[in-house]
């Protein structure tokens, strides 16, 4: 496997070019692109890419595998979601980008032009809350394309699949890369893992093998298909619960537990008297993720429920 190491210029600050690394393996079709670091504080993708490159060492690559490990170098330097010090924009709400837009829109436009010819883009993200391995499919207008994408996600041996719709009223997911990709021929998928401090060796191995399965199914590699367990992976839509109060939050439930509206899911201790206040579930569903014990304020997300897609 021969890797071409390139650098893509994403912008300039006085006296210095801003660049991002870009790895290309192979040539021609099919094309699969692997992205990480769209949000600067999310580092698990780098570990997964490192493991994947090790796993692919002896593989013959057919077509092209493009890897952009640090999509958002400035945010990565500050370990933040938005681009601090520049425009405070979220790269994953800036797609497909603008050549003469603000800095983040310009970065988005460069990334979009690098990956838009892909048969599949797999974007690696992490959740702040405690979560299992979650695959995301952003729904497009093409049902056949989505069905195939769902089959591929199912083969990745993840714990949960989140079916995300961006073309709904007041969607907060407009401008995501998945949204920008929904009108294209290729498929956009996302793999959300726990953050790098929480990612277990088992989850790291399963994520890497999951990507190997994806590459095999797109014909990028011929070997290495890892048979998955025949368990049924729930496919859900997501609904969030935000906190009304602030204080020290202690969760009393874990992810992948089924809860009913009204169930006790945690406690909040006010800092003035350390008396606990019950936090009850405002929805019924499967816990996709729940906030770890931490300080929270009014409006912070504390739990995300997965509800069955009918
Ligand atoms: Zn993210």
- Domains of the chain (ranges; CATH) run 3-217 (3.40.630.10), 239-308 (2.40.50.100)
Read off the pLDDT of residues 131-145 as tens digits, 9 standing for 90 and up. 999 999 988 888 999
Cα–Cα distance, 38 to 69 (Å, whole number): 9
Joined together, the tokens standing for residue 290 give: 């729940």
Distance 273 CA to ligand 1 centre (A): 36
Distance 14 CA to ligand 1 centre (A): 29
Distance 102 CA to ligand 1 centre (A): 20
Angle at 284 between CA 279 and CA 287, to 5 degrees: 75
Distance 80 CA to ligand 1 centre (A): 10
Joined together, the tokens standing for residue 30 give: 């099919």
Distance 19 CA to ligand 1 centre (A): 20
Read off the pLDDT of residues 168-183 as tens digits, 9 standing for 90 and up. 766 788 899 999 998 8
How long, in residues, is the chain? 310
- Which residues contact residue 290 at a Cβ distance below 8 angstroms, ignoring those fewer than 6 apart? 129, 130, 251, 253, 254, 255, 265, 266, 302, 303, 304
Cα–Cα distance, 207 to 222 (Å, whole number): 19
pLDDT for the residue numbered 227? 64
For 260-307, give the DSSP string: -TT-EEEEEE-TTT--EEEEE-SS-EEEEEEPPSEEE-TT-EEEEEEE
Distance 276 CA to ligand 1 centre (A): 32
- Which residues contact residue 16 at a Cβ distance below 8 angstroms, ignoring those fewer than 6 apart? none
Read off the pLDDT of residues 3-48 as tens digits, 9 standing for 90 and up. 999 999 999 999 999 999 999 999 999 999 999 999 999 999 999 9
Q: Is the pLDDT of residue 196 over 70?
A: yes
118-136 core/surface letters (b: 16 or more CB in 10 A; e: else): bbbbbbbbbbbbbbbbbbb
Distance 81 CA to ligand 1 centre (A): 7
What is the torsion angle, in degrees rounded to the nearest 10, for the CA atoms of residue 287, residue 288, residue 292 and residue 297? Answer: -90
Distance 190 CA to ligand 1 centre (A): 9
Ligand 1 ion local residues (Cβ < 5 A)? 39, 42, 125
Q: How many helices (H) and strands (E) does the chain have?
A: 6, 16
Distance 26 CA to ligand 1 centre (A): 28
pLDDT for the residue numbered 66? 98
- Which residues contact residue 265 at a Cβ distance below 8 angstroms, ignoring those fewer than 6 apart? 251, 252, 253, 259, 279, 280, 281, 287, 290, 302, 303
163: left (phi over 0), alpha (psi -120 to 50) or beta: beta
Distance 205 CA to ligand 1 centre (A): 20
Distance 277 CA to ligand 1 centre (A): 31
Distance 38 CA to ligand 1 centre (A): 6
Read off the pLDDT of residues 198-245 as tens digits, 9 standing for 90 and up. 999 999 999 999 999 999 999 999 876 666 665 789 999 999 999 999
């Amino acid at each position: 496997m021969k890797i071409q190491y390139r650098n893509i210029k994403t912008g300039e600050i006085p006296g210095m070019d801003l660049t991002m690394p870009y790895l290309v393996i192979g040539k021609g079709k099919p094309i699969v692109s692997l992205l990480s670091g769209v949000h600067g504080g999310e580092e698990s993708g780098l570990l997964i890419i490192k493991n994947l490159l090790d796993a692919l060492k002896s593989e013959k690559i057919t077509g092209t595998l493009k890897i952009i490990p640090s999509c958002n170098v400035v945010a990565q330097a500050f370990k933040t979601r938005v681009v601090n010090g520049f425009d405070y924009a979220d790269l994953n709400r800036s797609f497909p980008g603008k050549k003469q837009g603000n800095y983040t829109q310009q970065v988005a436009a460069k990334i979009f032009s690098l990956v838009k010819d892909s048969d599949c883009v797999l974007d690696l993200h992490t959740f702040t809350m405690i979560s299992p391995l979650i695959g995301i499919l952003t729904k497009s207008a093409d049902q056949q394309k989505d069905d195939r994408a769902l089959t591929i996600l199912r083969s990745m041996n993840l714990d949960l699949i989140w079916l995300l719709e961006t073309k709904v009223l007041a969607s907060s997911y407009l401008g995501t890369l998945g949204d920008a990709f929904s009108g294209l021929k290729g498929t956009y998928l996302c793999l959300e893992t726990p953050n790098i401090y929480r990612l277990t060796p088992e989850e790291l191995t399963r994520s890497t093998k999951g990507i190997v399965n994806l590459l095999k199914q797109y014909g990028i590699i011929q070997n290495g298909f890892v048979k998955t367990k025949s368990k049924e992976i729930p496919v859900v839509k997501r609904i969030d619960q935000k906190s009304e109060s602030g204080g020290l939050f202690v969760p009393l439930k874990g992810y992948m537990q089924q809860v009913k509206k009204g169930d006790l899911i945690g406690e909040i201790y006010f800092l003035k008297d350390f008396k606990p206040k019950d936090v009850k579930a405002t929805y019924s569903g499967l816990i996709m993720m729940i906030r770890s014990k931490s300080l929270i304020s009014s409006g912070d997300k504390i739990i995300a429920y997965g509800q069955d897609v009918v």
